[in-house]
Chains A and B, each alone.
Chain A
């Protein structure tokens, strides 16, 4: 028993001829339909090219505009010709001019011989279809579509809207349950002849003439009325992008197509010489046989759709510039911001780097320069330490840094003396972990050797900036993970917060901290705050420090919190 191919062609007829020759010379009859809109000389050349093969026929030409009846009419006539002229054909395979056999046709024939009664056609009820783009599912059948979608889009759309508004519905022919599916099928002689020679064909044709995209529903629906054994899948591999347009296969898809184990694929780029050469060569049968499995390559195409619609989170570049709230992640990875820690602890950066196993930056937004980890002048991605470059576009600076260091947690110091332009951006980022020891900015002032008048003015300025920051962090829209301690609170029990922070940065190394950072010497700090108060400034962010008295630290020696088991 034999297998016949019906080919619908409109461009790249030389490739179509190549494929038709491949099938016909392997004892599979081919009926070719050439679109009426294809120039005659091209069609004639195709005829001449294939004139030496006796089992190739050309069916009468119809104009096949996408979405219209012409394609179905062409298919019907070509299929009838196949059934009439080639009596030995049992399965008819519908293919297009841009299809390419991926496995030797003998394998396909054997596969079908083992399933002599099976119709391979994707056929899904309209209510279950998830893949139609543009929203027309059931309405393809219940509305009328007299206007061309390609040429008269406005008329098409407004007529659909009008019918929806008026509630006009066509009644379905009795017994017809609308089904949709890929237009590329492989049907048995019995089924196909039952569809094409059935007594109700005239009525059904009249109905489908006004259905939208009938080539995706005509055979798919009718096969359910006549076939006893429908295998609802297409033997033709085709993949669609997020707009429902078919993906084209190029030379670089060679391995991918091999892996799919499918029999036929579309669409093939006409200039893909390597593909045509590889799959049409006589020795292409060298691979082991396997069940067709288009799922094997689905991941790649699913990822492509995701890349097109969701993009890579945290990447801002020439073809991805998301609006607010459309970012799918404002930055590429979680990062930590520390305010007041490097002021309170003398070696905080090195300590944190060791404890959390990551590189820790200084004040990235410092006014003089960018303090990258290790004092680097250029960092990953060739980010410069120039403060002017950073301040020119601080958002790009931060998102670039996080993007460039994907896979390595970024931690940096922040403070009221730094560029504050980015506070909103960071606070609204769920990736940010912000830890603040409020009032710690006073410690460097306390240790400095400046005139008290200057210190007082500076403290007032920094306190104002820090309270604005803290107020921002209390807003209801904040998405960052925020922790705030006053200085007094923090030095009372520093270990617990440090442990929490480190655990959060490197959750896998759930070990207790063994080494602790060295705290700055705060003897006399209470008095310093009192002096500020006496000078008319109100230090509020530090919490309660007893004026004059020494710190609550044990024994009056330099506070260095040790672990108590």
Chain B
């Protein structure tokens, strides 16, 4: 077989073919998906039930699935924001928090909570746990899979809650929804301001990079590969390949045979990754406001640097953690101040597609 490109740059995406190698590839992906599901089923044993309110889930409810660790700061606003959007039930795994996250979540009426002391890395960065919860509870529901530092926004999100969005997606014959992770940062050094739980973190992290994103498509699963933003600009200017991946598929109408593959950047079966239009048109998409750079990032980076639970090869990311610990200024002269979804839509970071 001829060497395949690592990624298709703009303008070279070939039409999906039906060749023999392609069929072979499909078969391998199917096998891979089955392995992922088997892993998820095996890893369910890691999870100890803390509060199970899944009996309250009704047909057509929108679920939100996540793994958290020490997020007591962010969670109040996170839950508020997504409740307002129309999430009916949260399925949360607590991975060894020590800051009261567990107590906070246990008492929420719409949260089902599991606890685990298992290794984050050994469960493929929490993905096995998430895949299990989705498999067990997500069937036939639209499921939002997020991190605690991500806030979903999409076109018209103030006036059209998630049920309206998913009805629109269904009418378009779509069962997955793409969102770009947008790193939000403050004007000065990261530690300069104080954040109180419950506040809107975007009040502190008002700035973002509006147009420095590298877009490619990876050939195997035809999934997007978007990198860029302040982290690529500040930390990976000499080694851009390692810059964090920013495209996500957070919202999927789940089927028990689906599985997230690489975080929520890609999923199997591969057709779920087709969240973009190849013929020049635009599909409806959203943005995840990434509130990673709250002041707590400094302490957290120091901890993560020692824990080595993130990234497949943590040794290569030590400089990145050092950079964060050094309290950098991510803001630059060309940064944009966030004013709302219409701005993101006009800048081309997300699109309303045909939804008006």
Contact = CB atoms under 8 A, between A and B. Distances in A.
Interface of A: 241-243, 245, 247-248, 250-252, 269, 271, 300-301, 303-305, 307-312, 315-324, 326-328, 330, 376-384, 386, 388-389, 392-393, 395-397, 399-400, 403-404, 425
A333 B329 CA distance: 33
B353 A308 contact: yes
Contacts of B167: 248
A389 B217 contact: no
Interface string B234-272: 001111110000010000000000000000000000000
Contacts, number: 204
Given A319-B178, A383-B212, 15 more contacts: A241-B354, A301-B356, A305-B354, A307-B352, A307-B354, A311-B280, A311-B281, A318-B247, A318-B350, A322-B278, A380-B334, A382-B230, A382-B336, A389-B214, A389-B236
Nearest to B9: A395
Interface stretch (B87-95, B187-195, B282-290, B305-313): B282-290
A400 B159 CA distance: 31
A381 B335 CA distance: 7
Contact of A300 (B14, B238, B356): B356
A36 B101 CA distance: 49
A317 B349 CA distance: 7
Interface of B: 9-15, 156, 158-161, 163-164, 167-168, 171-172, 178-180, 209-217, 224, 226, 228-230, 232-233, 236-241, 247, 275-285, 332-336, 348-356
21 contacts: A245-B171, A271-B161, A304-B354, A304-B355, A304-B356, A305-B354, A308-B354, A311-B281, A311-B351, A317-B351, A321-B278, A323-B279, A381-B334, A382-B332, A383-B212, A388-B239, A388-B240, A395-B9, A395-B11, A396-B10, A404-B210
Contact of B211 (A241, A247, A324, A400): A400
B280 A310 contact: yes
A252 B216 CA distance: 35
Nearest to B7: A393
Contact of A388 (B11, B216, B238, B277): B238
Which of A317, A379, A382 gathers most chain B CB within 10 Å?
A382
B356 to A, nearest CB: 4
B353 A317 contact: no
Nearest to A377: B332
A323 B278 contact: yes
Q: Which 8 A-B pairs have the closest CB atoms?
A: A381-B211, A308-B354, A393-B214, A382-B209, A319-B285, A392-B240, A386-B237, A404-B211
A247 B276 contact: no
Contacts of B241: 392
A393 B278 contact: no
B228 to A, nearest CB: 8
A322 B277 contact: yes
A331 to B, nearest CB: 10
A396 B334 contact: no
Contacts of B351: 307, 311, 317, 319-320
A378 B233 CA distance: 9
A412 B223 CA distance: 33
A231 to B, nearest CB: 28
A379 B349 CA distance: 17
A378 B334 contact: yes
A384 B213 contact: no
Contacts of B281: 307-311, 320
Contact of B350 (A303, A319, A324, A377): A319
Nearest to B210: A381
